[in-house]
Structure 1
Amino acid sequence: MERAAKQDAINELNGVFKSSAVVVVAHYSGLTVAQMSTLRQQMRAVGAKVKVAKNRLAKIALKDTDVASLESLLKGPTVLAYSGDPVAAPKVAIDFAKANEQFVILGGAMGKTALDPNGVKSLASLPSLDELRAKIVGLVQAPATKIAQLANAPAAKVARVVSAYASKDAAA
């Protein structure tokens, strides 16, 4: 690798580390190309990305970033999974690790918070950003429909009373 290419790789990784909400580090030794392609597709489907980078270059790129705690995890054949959504990359990584024994999660970082493998699992168990938005919309929408029902209820009661008196007068 030429010096300019190395510097470009470092700059790219530095941008990834600064812009990502979460970064997960895992060993991928023993995975086939097809399995790695599957991992990349699954990550892409949720808006996350996977990157295999030289550990030496990644350590240089970690300097002056919030996720500098990842440096101790960068040993051996490592892969970086990252996303803007704090739940997307960990969720896919945990699911992929369950299906593939060779994919071993070492840990990660969410901002300045370092995560061990259990922390990554905990993060993966949380609902995604889209799920939370849907729940909030549901909570906001439910009281609005109840208010509309309450506003219409007195008018409906008056109409029933008038209808009852009208049918009573018609019967008499």
Structure 2
Amino acid sequence: MAKTDKSAAIAELTEAFRNSNAAVLTEYRGLTVKQLTELRTNLRGNATYAVVKNTLTDLAAKEAGVTAFEGQLAGPSAIVFVDGDAVEVAKSLRDFAKAHPLLVIKGGVLDGRALTAAEITKLADLESREVLLAKLAGAMNASLSRAVYLFAAPLSQAARTVDALRAKVEAEGPAAPAAPQDPVEAPADSPQDAPADAPQDAPAADVAEGGDDNA
């Protein structure tokens, strides 16, 4: 490959690394052209599958600041450049590898973080972005509906209580005034309540002292 061609290839790969939100390194030894075409079809819409030269890819990765593939660029290599849902791409790679064990997932990078092959498999077990967004939207709608109900319920209950109380008052009419009570008569004075200066019985006549007169 001419020097200018190498430079162009490195620049293209560097741009692909920079513009992708994730990348997965694979080895495709033994896969047929038909099988590789099938894999590309499965990834369409979320990623591109590019067969690469190891030396040029190593230079491009370093140029883009990607260190996840250091020491792994050996054998027939191809990189999945992800520009869509990384979870969907991981699912497609996992399912294809199950059907075609010759596809080997070596590792990857997601938003600048290196991923092992095992972590990519775990990524495939997650729900897709669309499913998560749908669940989030459903949870938010349910929360909003519940909040509206909780805010509206006390107001409606209070309104019904006020209406019932108003109807009860109108049916019974105004309350009648209370009847006056008879005055309480003061009790007659008892003998022991007589004034202290009331006249007492006259004392008995004194007995004449002395005996009969002698003649």
Bin for the TM-score computed over the shorter chain: 0.7 to 0.9
What's the offset of the Cα at 1:153?
Answer: 4.6
Partner of 2:146: 146
SS in 1 for 2:63: coil
Aligned amino acid, residue 133 of structure 2: R
Q: What is the correspondence of 1:17-36 to structure 2 with a 5 Å cutoff?
A: 17-36=17-36
Partner of 1:53: 52
Aligned amino acid, residue 52 of structure 1: V
The answer to whether 1:100 aligns with 2:78 is no
What's the offset of the Cα at 1:150?
Answer: 4.1
Root-mean-square deviation (CA, aligned residues, Å) is 2.5
What's the offset of the Cα at 1:14?
Answer: 0.4
**Judging changes above 3 Å, is the alpha-carbon distance between structure 1 residues 143 and 63 closer, same or farther for their aligned structure 2 residues?**
same
Aligned amino acid, residue 29 of structure 2: S
Partner of 2:13: 13
SS in 2 for 1:70: coil
Aligned sequence identity (%): 35
Unaligned runs of 5+ residues in structure 1 are 166-172
Number of paired residues?
164
CA distance in 2, matches of 1:92, 1:122: 13
What's the offset of the Cα at 1:65?
Answer: 2.7
Partner of 1:169: none
Return the TM-score normalized by structure 1: 0.81
CA contact (8 A) 1:81 1:93 kept: no
Partner of 1:168: none
Task: Give the helix-richer structure, 1 or 2.
Answer: 1
Return the TM-score normalized by structure 2: 0.66
Aligned amino acid, residue 91 of structure 1: K
CA contact (8 A) 2:68 2:107 kept: no
Partner of 1:62: 61
Unaligned runs of 5+ residues in structure 2 are 168-215
The answer to whether 1:123 aligns with 2:108 is no
**Judging changes above 3 Å, is the alpha-carbon distance between structure 1 residues 111 and 67 closer, same or farther for their aligned structure 2 residues?**
farther
What's the offset of the Cα at 1:7?
Answer: 1.6
Aligned amino acid, residue 103 of structure 1: L
CA contact (8 A) 1:59 1:71 kept: yes
The answer to whether 1:74 aligns with 2:77 is no
**Which has the bigger relative contact order, CA under 8 A and spacing at least 6?**
1
**Judging changes above 3 Å, is the alpha-carbon distance between structure 1 residues 111 and 154 closer, same or farther for their aligned structure 2 residues?**
closer
